[in-house]
Structure 1
Amino acid sequence: MRESSPIQVTKSFLPPMEEYIRQLQPAWENNQLTNGGPLLLQLMEELKKYLKVPHVLVTANGTLSLQIAIKALELEGEIITTPFSYIATSAAIAWQGCKPVYVDIERNYWCIDADQIEQAITPETTAILATHVFGNPCNVDKIDEIARRYNLKVIYDGAHCFGVNYQDKSIFNYGDVSVCSFHATKLFHTAEGGCLITQNEKLLEKMIWLHNSGHNGAEDYHGLGINGKTSELQAAMGLAVLPYVKSLIESRKQRATIYDTLLNPELQRIRMRQGTDWNYCYYPVAFGTEKKMLAVRDALNAIQIYPRRYFYPALNKINFLREQQMPVAEDIASRVLCLPLYHDLAVESIKQVVSVINRLT
């Protein structure tokens, strides 16, 4: 049976309230709500184990995490990035006073085209900031090789990547820093939040004080910082959600398989890079033309089903960033629609979405 309420592109998973309250109880008992409380410390330890990464720093949100990563790596000048991502990827670069330089995307994988990166490098280039689009890994081996050859830093925007493994290890183990979002719409969330992941302990220590207003104890400072901390309330939400992640991925996979089976096979799907253990965070499809995509979107909206255009427009077309011609990204961005996909989406709702799409394509 289809849900009676409007169907959005995604839906936050809420753990049973009594489990959240149980996780939150220590904050009431010790009267500590922020500033690195025991719930936050516990969450970071559990995330390290779950993700199999050496260091995790949980922050207030994913955008601040990107900004802190750029600041910690002392980046200046130009940063090569992708035009096909959420605006936070490029906005973080510009906010930190650096210049985003776009490289077009791969037509099948939709991530930055590593084969085009080298020609975009100039004497002003200091880093590559690449997005694992919809949780699909970038060509990390090629990017790593280029970065080493040109002495560049690498940041990965892994906002969609919680639970994604590539080449038998967490995708967060690649690059100098990886960033994840814990926004309420994500597979794993803390209502609002994000994290920084690195292999480098000294870099971690720097990011810790950067996200804590630069503090070195109560009366001294390492240097300029920002308030990027998260609270015990958010940490408790993360602790309550984390045990459900594997089942959430499985339930999304089951629903994605129904789409795979029933949808018009001529629709373009994102191709997962070989060696990827995916998390089914979104279900994007590219229609033959923008006109067809808009017709489908409008028809679904008319029956209170609301897919989303991720990511539109291509970031190189946004006036306060940098105008460059990115033909593949602009083409894909004009035709992609993310279909509803979440843990308890009714099968009948999926069939209704499919029926509209197949009729109009």
Structure 2
Amino acid sequence: MKKQPVYVTRSNLPALADIIPLLEEIWDRRILTNNGPVLQRFESALSDYLGVEHISLVANATLGTVLAMQQAGITSGEVITTPFSFVATSHAIKLAGATPVFADIDPITLNLDPTKIEALITPQTKALLPVHTFGVPCDTDGLAEVAHRHGLKVLYDAAHAFGVHRNGQSILRHGEMSVLSFHATKVFNTFEGGAVIVRDRETKLAIDRLANFGFDATGAANAIGMNAKMNEFSAAIGLAQLCRIDEVLADRACVAQRYMEQLSNIRRLSCPSPTGIVGHNHYAFPILVGSDFHVSRDELHSRLEEENIFTRKYFYPLISDMEPYKSLASANPAGLPVARKIASQILCLPLYPDLDIPTQDRVIEHLLRY
């Protein structure tokens, strides 16, 4: 008989005792959306927790990224980004009206490599859209220097980077805007949702208007917007989640540390892990299965699945290999050697805050067999 399945992630839920009073408030008021009182409280509490001044809550991170690009005036031209990400990163660029251009990644951080960007800049280049992959901060200084030299804007896909800090400040403070995801599988979730972090109140209000069909304070639709608002239920989930997020992050760190201690000495298998990052959220625990390991990455993935242990080849395939993008000149494999190598080796292990030691031992023991 197979043992209980171990999934690569498991959504964190707030305590019912924390959420029920908030739901009672919503039921009493019957205000379900349109910048309701629960959303306003959540926005304020989240801003305080993250250490940023201006946040616009949205229905999801894809819409948030489209709105950020629209507000930044990036509705045509080219945007340099990473092929090593979830496909929503490039989809948002296309939905905003621009074209993604893929640059290679750094082999250590797995983030967009600033040294690979300059050769791809053309008169049509409008912006950079880097990703803080697995919550590991990008080389924000290097990216800012390239962007400044060429007059480009920098918007960050921070879907994985909830609560991450660098040099005592939130990583979300970098670039013109950063976009968080609160999808069910993220470190912090509102079932579905997201947030756009901006530098000033004027931009925040502009994002809010675009997320509400373009309506301004007078009720006039003076811009082409969409329905990208977060609802009161999702905001209530967010408020309740904030009550215990520090405990969740601490538990994730313990799971990641135990993996590192047990697996770091396996030959031909490496564990990319952030160092020196205060407030890293341990979004995932990736391992790289070397070409000279005893079995291939795909075979290891299959063997673990046979034991009811589910890992994820994340991110594979590269976005640049997917149908909507593979015909782009920048999708040429010759220009993306590091990203292609990482995508062929990577495997993310089960990691969630309530992954208990006996269950984690099952995963570790099967890996040690090889």
With the shorter chain as reference, the TM-score category is over 0.9
Root mean square deviation of aligned Cα: 1.6
CA offset at residue 200 of structure 1?
Answer: 2.6
Q: Which residue of 2 aligns with 1:128?
A: 128
Amino acid at match of 1:350: Q
Q: Which residue of 2 aligns with 1:303?
A: 307
Q: Which residue of 1 aligns with 2:350?
A: 340
CA offset at residue 26 of structure 1?
Answer: 1.3
- 2:316 aligned residue (303, 308, 312): 312
Q: Which residue of 1 aligns with 2:101?
A: 101
Once residues 226 and 59 of structure 1 are traced to their aligned partners in structure 2, the CA distance between those partners, rounded to angstroms, is 11
Once residues 66 and 306 of structure 2 are traced to their aligned partners in structure 1, the CA distance between those partners, rounded to angstroms, is 39
Matches within 5 A, 1:323-334: 323-325=331-333, 326-334=336-344
Instruction: State whether residues 109 and 273 of structure 1, in contact with CA within 8 Å, keep that contact through their aligned partners in structure 2.
Output: no
Question: Are residue 272 (structure 1) and residue 266 (structure 2) matched?
Answer: no
Q: Which residue of 2 aligns with 1:13?
A: 12
CA offset at residue 74 of structure 1?
Answer: 0.9
TM-score by length of 1: 0.96
Matches within 5 A, 1:206-245: 206-217=206-217, 219-245=219-245
Once residues 270 and 82 of structure 1 are traced to their aligned partners in structure 2, the CA distance between those partners, rounded to angstroms, is 18
Instruction: State whether residues 84 and 343 of structure 2, in contact with CA within 8 Å, keep that contact through their aligned partners in structure 1.
Output: yes
Instruction: State whether residues 32 and 232 of structure 1, in contact with CA within 8 Å, keep that contact through their aligned partners in structure 2.
Output: yes
Amino acid at match of 1:339: L
Matches within 5 A, 1:341-356: 341-356=351-366
Point out where structure 1 has 5 or more consecutive residues left out of the alignment.
none
Point out where structure 2 has 5 or more consecutive residues left out of the alignment.
none
Matches within 5 A, 1:61-210: 61-75=60-74, 76-210=76-210
Instruction: State whether residues 264 and 271 of structure 2, in contact with CA within 8 Å, keep that contact through their aligned partners in structure 1.
Output: no
User: Is the partner of 2:12 in helix, strand or coil?
Assistant: coil
Amino acid at match of 1:324: N
TM-score by length of 2: 0.93
Amino acid at match of 2:304: L
Once residues 145 and 42 of structure 1 are traced to their aligned partners in structure 2, the CA distance between those partners, rounded to angstroms, is 37
Residue range with higher mean Cα deviation, 16-25 or 300-309: 16-25
Instruction: State whether residues 137 and 273 of structure 1, in contact with CA within 8 Å, keep that contact through their aligned partners in structure 2.
Output: no
CA offset at residue 217 of structure 1?
Answer: 4.0
User: Is the partner of 1:277 in helix, strand or coil?
Assistant: coil
Q: 1:273 to 1:199 in 2, by over 3 A?
A: farther
Once residues 86 and 239 of structure 2 are traced to their aligned partners in structure 1, the CA distance between those partners, rounded to angstroms, is 27
CA offset at residue 275 of structure 1?
Answer: 4.5
Instruction: State whether residues 136 and 276 of structure 1, in contact with CA within 8 Å, keep that contact through their aligned partners in structure 2.
Output: no
Once residues 275 and 148 of structure 2 are traced to their aligned partners in structure 1, the CA distance between those partners, rounded to angstroms, is 22
Instruction: State whether residues 35 and 231 of structure 1, in contact with CA within 8 Å, keep that contact through their aligned partners in structure 2.
Output: yes
CA offset at residue 194 of structure 1?
Answer: 0.5
User: Is the partner of 2:84 in helix, strand or coil?
Assistant: coil
Q: 1:56 to 1:219 in 2, by over 3 A?
A: closer
> What are the Cα deviations for residues 265-320 of structure 1, in whole angstroms up to 9, with x where unaligned?
23222242645531111111111139521122111111211111111111111121
Instruction: State whether residues 102 and 324 of structure 1, in contact with CA within 8 Å, keep that contact through their aligned partners in structure 2.
Output: no
Q: Which residue of 2 aligns with 1:284?
A: 286
User: Is the partner of 2:259 in helix, strand or coil?
Assistant: helix
Q: Which residue of 1 aligns with 2:33?
A: 34
Q: 1:210 to 1:7 in 2, by over 3 A?
A: same
The percentage of counterpart residues that share the same residue type is 37
Q: 1:111 to 1:119 in 2, by over 3 A?
A: same
Aligned residues: 358
